[in-house]
Amino acid sequence: MPFLQCIESNCQAQFDTHSRIYTCERCGGLLDLVHEVRAFDPEQLKRSWDQRLASKEPANQSGVWRFRELLPEVDEANIITMIEGNTQLFDAPRSAEYAGRGQLTFKHLGMNPTGSFKDLGMTTGVTQAQKLGANSVACASTGNTSASMAAYAARAGMKAVIFIPSGQISLGKLSQALDYGATVVQIDGDFDDAMRLVRDITKDSPLYLLNSVNPFRLEGQKTIAFEMLQQRDWQVPDRIVVPGGNLGNSSAIAKGLLELIEMGFIDHLPQITIIQAEGANPLYQLWQRIQSEGSDTQALQPVKGATTLATAIKIGNPVSWQKSLRGLLKSHGEVEQVSEQEIADAKAIIGRDGIGCEPASAVTLAGIRKLVAAGRIQPNEDIVAILTGHVLKDPDYVVNYHRGELSFTDKLGQKHLLSSNYASQWIQVGADRSEIEKALSL
């Protein structure tokens, strides 16, 4: 039977899954949901998971609950699902060429019901909330978490309360949360302020916390690894490249891969590579210290006043950094940072492959290009890059880039206009056929 366990090596306290806790009650450390994975026969599980692909039952159609042997225990009738998962692997030749590679694959998690990877964690998180008898849920959010939690809470008949940082959330994402009936609380501060407050309030109130500090959230997100490998006939890529914000996604993917290793599904780990924006790069800074000083026992130092137009990763004090670091160390991974210009151009190139994504997703391509140029990615590497959100999550960013009007303000308060190096044509003419033909060189 699964149980919760503190990840701190000098603690490792255990708790049952009926406890309404988010972090260790003994030391305050993060918690893992631990499964007795060695009890399973890998080949039998593979057959079961493949057979479920043809089922019409909601739990089997879900790209999360299809793998329920390795998820929190719950009665199938009580699962809160929107048939999440089942997201595509896309070949991206133009993006590959831009990165200096012959081939590149994207797994586009923006194809989930509310347009981001957060749905994978919310189906397990909201299902657990219901199991514990909660009737209201809460989160701090820069956008995607709020949209996803609001939708799943609505499906479960729960009240959703969302804490957002003032002026730092895409209206496309906020509109989703409002449409799904959530109560929005705007905080005079940044995401880290909102996160601190929601964690404090949920300690002793009826609100059930659904940020990625909640271990049940990461249980759903770890199925990214399961589904990706199932789609690849269990052939492990050399490298998985993931955007780095609150670091729940990289933590979850690493946990899923480590469970597959323990079960004997796969015999080695892909190299997990995390890409952050230069203005919101606390993990990158920690990784640089680890590489230069040779010690992995250092603590992450938050970035105050994090800045990036990629709002989904505009986080200076990520709660899941210890789990993320664990995955990096075990997979001999890497961390890189990219500039606002590199993100904007990479996003435009991804669009040229007919694959729209939110700005935070584009750090993966920008990072791969940078690592290839530095000789840190080998020409024959098999790479899967994660796209986290849909293009319509932040349409203003897209339009401003292609009109040559995309700008950002740095930590010193200075405004910078980005170059639209890969802009699509924007032509304005009179309502006259000859003018149109001339403009289009017809």
The answer, yes or no, to whether residue 191 has pLDDT greater than 90, is no
In angstroms, the Cα distances linking 389 to 114, 149, 425 are: 9, 15, 25
pLDDT score at 171: 75
pLDDT for residue 433? 94
At 431, the pLDDT band (50, 70, 90 cuts) reads very high
* Confidence band, pLDDT 50/70/90 cuts, at residue 279: very high
Predicted local distance difference test score (pLDDT) of residue 344:
98
pLDDT at 172 over 90: no
- Find, among 384, 57, 389, the residue nearest to 230 by Cα: 384
Is it the case that residue 297 has pLDDT exceeding 80?
no
Q: What is the pLDDT of residues 406-417, one digit of tens each?
A: 999 988 889 999
If one compares 298 and 129, the residue with the highest pLDDT of the two is 129
3-state SS of 46-95 is HHHHHHHCCCCCHHHHCCCHHHHHHCCCCCHHHCCCCCCCCCCEEECHHH
Q: pLDDT tens across 53-101, in order?
A: 999 999 999 999 999 999 999 999 999 999 999 999 999 999 999 999 9
Contact 386, 243 (CB under 8 A): yes
Share of the chain above pLDDT 90, in %: 88
Which pLDDT band holds residue 168 (cuts at 50, 70, 90)? low
At 354-404, the pLDDT tens digits run 999 999 999 999 999 999 999 999 989 999 999 999 999 999 999 999 999
- Lowest average pLDDT, out of 1-5, 35-39, 109-113, 281-285, goes to 35-39
Residue 187, pLDDT above cutoff 70: yes
Residue 412: per-residue pLDDT = 86
Beta-ladder partners of 239: 271, 383
State the pLDDT at residue 366. Answer: 98
How far lies 426's CA from each of 94, 401, 403, 420, in Å? Answer: 21, 11, 7, 12
Query: Is residue 294 very low, low, confident or very high in pLDDT (cuts 50, 70, 90)?
Result: confident
Tell me what the pLDDT averaged over the chain comes to: 95
Mind listing the domains of the chain with CATH numbers?
A: 1-34 (no CATH), 89-114+218-417 (3.40.50.1100)
pLDDT for 272 beyond 80: yes
181 Rama class: left (phi>0) / alpha (psi -120 to 50) / beta? left
> Does residue 148 register a pLDDT over 70?
yes
Cα three-residue angle 87-88-90, rounded to 5 degrees: 150
Residue 167 has pLDDT above 80, yes or no: no
Indicate if the pLDDT at residue 251 is higher than 70. Answer: yes
